Structure 1
């Protein structure tokens, strides 16, 4: 049930200069609860003019924020983290309301998302450089790292807090001002986060939030403005490619965390019980709406029947419903469009000969629910094997040799995450090295960690977020030649 007190505490305007304001044309749009289809709130619909005002504010305070002592920047990030912890229930409730995931998973996102602020608070005071003698003996080499400058962050709807803090944390730690364009489906969490930063003492103008239904126009205008220096995007590969092309005009620094097609390999020596639990975590968490979700489950044919039977029983035990209901472990998909896309992929696979072990249809109830589903015997070349499912649908295919499994795992243009289960240490080392992905989980179905770099290879993106590597995305290297 919608909490009026919580929603009334969330800013619903465009956040610029430390306060919410209406759109320049007075436009607003609805935010819908995916569990019911009901309108939660209306939010100001930013125009190109509004986004330009946000960039002007960011440019105005960029010089002062860049020279703010790292310790002061760190303390603001730390205070924001502490406020998020204090308001964890509010953030979790809001995430479940506007995104739909079960409340327990929303609490997990709050802890995970908040941790990026604490991590980068600690990294802010560790931005290093070096001073060395020139090998020729004619002077010294001084290398410093300086903030890139005003940044645009475009975030997705599936983790409305964590995808923001993963970009805001390193940007602020490095000394960059930042404008966030949240997803149209889930802007409320980011607007509440903006209020948290104001309460934590972040100077006005350093962070702006511009919700909009006109993302191509707003983002395009900002990226062609010579004052912007960086864009960070998390979303589909198709959109990411367009942004990379647009970034060339101003030679913007780019960070791109794009789509995935993660393989989940189960070798014949795996602990089948552990592999089943790992597969459920990698596939069903967030309703399968994650770029790291296991998209293809590759199982050694010698244990395929045993694994499939166990996984089917585990999926059958999943309870579907609104995320605030007790006992629910799978919420709705984000909107009708996403539900229908999942339905189409499953229907096409079944029509081509795939076997449905369980599920296979939308749930007949208000909201945008789809049954947790398990498919096997999916014909090669089916769209469901090549496209990112982004739904609670597990697809099993078999293999006979380790080489065959690795070739199947790598047989995609994407390379974000991969998982495999084995009890053979030599195989673990060998397969991890052979997998073409930016992140590999060995005997575990969840791999995200604020202290680790998050990023992919091939069509899955450029750069890394999180870890000690994450702050480098927001820093320029400057070489200063000194005489002896």
Structure 2
């Protein structure tokens, strides 16, 4: 397992391990009478309260309100209590942010790579210093357990560290010319003002993964933060201000009801030369269509339907651990979560029994600020409704729930039991739709050829996983899976050093790694003539 993956997940695993050395708990742990007490005794407190920014956005180095004065409410998904309010930016507010980024670009692009590196490094250092407060904000507005939130903040900060190290190493090329006397070389230049649109499931990491490379190469940004989780991004903006990021280089704006008009301005304004979006495939298609009028550069990281394949030659215990990590991370609310678990028939029963036992015995659902909790709420009631619909559909068509399969109203409206279903078939909704929740459906299969065909029978292709000890199979299946990322004998693939992105309707472009740098650059070719004839002996 890569170092960053150990950092991201070891905290939560250690918390779980220590807890279950003391006792074994069922997945349903809180009675209705204890829920109000849980909510009231776990109100989060920040070491630095100034990181919590209400009713303001960060534009041109200043904290500003929406011109209309309108705000929207943000609620804790665990308790449904009000966290605070954030500005409802509209089209005009967005244009002002774009103008600020455009003005700042003319100076920022000419800083040296080393100067930009130092700014990103300072921002990274401040994230490390304020790690606990940032994690508190993530748990408060997203709901994930605090151990997971701490892992996310470390992961998010590491993007700034990674790209701070890339900033001084942006090279062009010298190209041999086919024309005698000519010289050809290339220059890498920043594309310009970038519009960044990020999701709620990783409110810290999805922003830094986009802003890091943009600033490293000399771009300026307008980042539309998610309406469900704006406060983490605004805290990051405060740290950018403290780091000395020049005004107008980083602009963080918020909206909920006005999200469509904000997105339309970002995609149609000719000043914006690049859009990077992480979210659903339908929204990605809409944004791409809107970008066509000004032919912007695009990066789209869209929906997934990840296959997770366990061959009968796999280490079953390792595969179970990998499936737990992949499927139930953030309660199944990640785009690279295993969505369809294919288990070869010879080990199907063994895998199902061990997998269900881990979910039954080692998971505890509740408020993320409870240190013993392993899984928090889903983001809102609509997410719960979709998960429940998928489970009911599967059960109606013959699936059996080994664990879970129910809402958890005693905990609150946004909780759903971690669920393991067996007897899954291709006519069930989960076979073709992304669940985005804590439900694992186990599909049996017989042959390698059959399962590869099943895995590829989807219009999306973000991530895929498989477990096998056959080296020939490893290479063969990895090459035949129609996805942008493959995990072999691991359920965790995220790493700032690794290129992240998909194929088919999961989008295009890559984030993280040295490939992520190129998404924010243009390549300028220069041909120089008049060098004369080659030297004669």
Shared fold, TM over 0.5: yes
Counterparts of 1:224-235 in structure 2, within 5 Å, are 224-235=268-279
Tell me the secondary structure at the aligned position of residue 187 of structure 2.
strand
CA distance in 2, matches of 1:461, 1:89: 33
CA contact (8 A) 2:399 2:424 kept: yes
Deviation larger for 127-136 or 388-397? 127-136
Post-superposition Cα deviations, 1:291-343, rounded to whole Å, max 9, x if no partner, equal 00000000000000000000000111211011110211110000111111111
**Partner residue of 1:39 out of 82, 96, 108:** 82
Contact 2:192 2:272 survives alignment (8 Å): yes
Residue 11 (structure 2) pairs with residue 11 (structure 1): no
Residue 215 in 1 paired to residue 259 in 2? yes
| Aligned equivalent of 1:187, options 222, 230, 235 | 230
- The match for 2:155 is 112
Shift of 1:4: 4.9
Counterpart residue number, 1:157? 200
Report the equivalent of 1:256.
300
Name the CA distance, whole Å, in 1 between partners of 2:207 and 2:163.
Answer: 13
**Cα distance in 2 between the residues matched to 1:379 and 1:315:** 22
Shift in Å at residue 379 of structure 1? Answer: 2.9
Equivalent pair of 2:51/2:238 in contact (CA under 8 Å): no
Uncovered stretches (5+) of structure 2, i.e. residues with no partner: 1-41, 532-537
1:275 matched to 2:316: no
Residue 39 of structure 2 aligns with which residue?
none
Q: CA deviation at 1:159?
A: 0.2
State the 1:7 CA deviation: 5.4
CA contact (8 A) 1:332 1:370 kept: yes
Matched with 2:412 is: 366
In structure 2, what is the equivalent of residue 22 of structure 1?
65
Counterpart position of 1:103? 146
Equivalent positions of 1:47-126 (< 5 A) are 47-126=90-169
Partners of 2:267 and 2:290 within 8 A in 1: yes
Does the 8 A contact of 1:155 with 1:181 survive in 2?
yes
- Distance in 1 of aligned mates of 2:367 and 2:102: 42
Question: CA-to-partner distance for each residue in 1:333-365, whole Å, 9 max, x for gaps?
Answer: 001111111111111221222111111111122
Task: Report if the CA contact (8 A) 2:423-2:443 is conserved.
Answer: yes
Q: Work out whether 1:462 is the aligned partner of 2:505.
A: no
Deviation at 1:8, TM superposition (A): 5.1
1 CA distance for matches of 2:106 and 2:274? Answer: 16
Deviations 1:366-401 (A, max 9, x none): 241100001111232221111111000001001101
Please give the secondary structure, in 1, of the residue aligned with 2:406. coil
Distance 1:283 1:336 in 2: 20
Q: Among residues 429, 449, 460, which one is paired with 1:383 in the alignment? A: 429
Are 2:359 and 1:298 equivalent residues in the alignment? no
For 2:518 and 2:299, locate their aligned partners in 1 and report how far apart those are by CA, in whole Å: 11
Post-superposition CA distance 1:429-483 (Å, at most 9, x none) = 1111111111000000000000000000001111000001001000001011101
Question: How far apart, CA to CA, are the structure 1 residues paired with 2:167 and 2:43?
Answer: 38
Distance in 1 separating the partners of 2:61 and 2:74: 22
Alignment-derived partner of residue 176 in structure 1? 219
8 Å CA contact retained: 2:44, 2:140: no
The CA distance in 2 between the partners of 1:229 and 1:408, in whole Å, is 39
Q: 2: CA distance between counterparts of 1:405 and 1:469?
A: 31
Aligned to 1:472: 518
- Secondary structure of the residue aligned to 1:229 is strand
Structure number, greater radius of gyration = 2
- What does residue 342 of structure 1 align with? 387
CA distance in 2 between partners of 1:55 and 1:159 (Å)? 24
Q: Secondary structure at the match of 2:377?
A: coil
The answer on whether the counterparts of 1:7 and 1:41 sit within 8 Å (CA) in structure 2 is no
1:138-171 Cα distance to aligned partner (Å, 9 max, x none) = 3100211100000000000000000000000000
RMSD: 1.0
Give 1:222 deviation, angstroms. Answer: 2.2
Equivalent-residue separation in structure 1 for 2:475 and 2:98 (angstroms): 47
Specify the alignment match of 2:470 in structure 1.
424
| Range moving further from structure 2, 448-457 or 401-410 | 401-410
User: Which of 31, 43, 62 is equivalent to 1:2?
Assistant: 43
User: TM-score, normalised on structure 2?
Assistant: 0.89
* Per-residue CA distance 1:99-152 (angstroms, 9 max, x = gap): 010111111101111100000001111111022341221310021110000000
The equivalent residue for 2:183 is 140
How far off its partner does 1:25 sit? 0.3
Q: Which segment drifts farther, 411-420 or 135-144? A: 135-144
CA distance in 1, matches of 2:342, 2:180: 58
Q: What is the distance in 2 between the residues matched to 1:314 and 1:327?
A: 16
Q: For residue 239 of structure 1, what is the aligned residue in structure 2?
A: 283
Deviation readout 1:18-49 (Å, 9 max, x if unpaired): 12111000001111100100011111111111
Task: Give 5+ residue unaligned stretches, structure 1.
Answer: none
* Distance in 2 of aligned mates of 1:402 and 1:9: 52
Aligned partners of 1:446 and 1:157: how far apart in 2?
20
Three-state SS of the structure 2 residue aligned to 1:445 is: coil
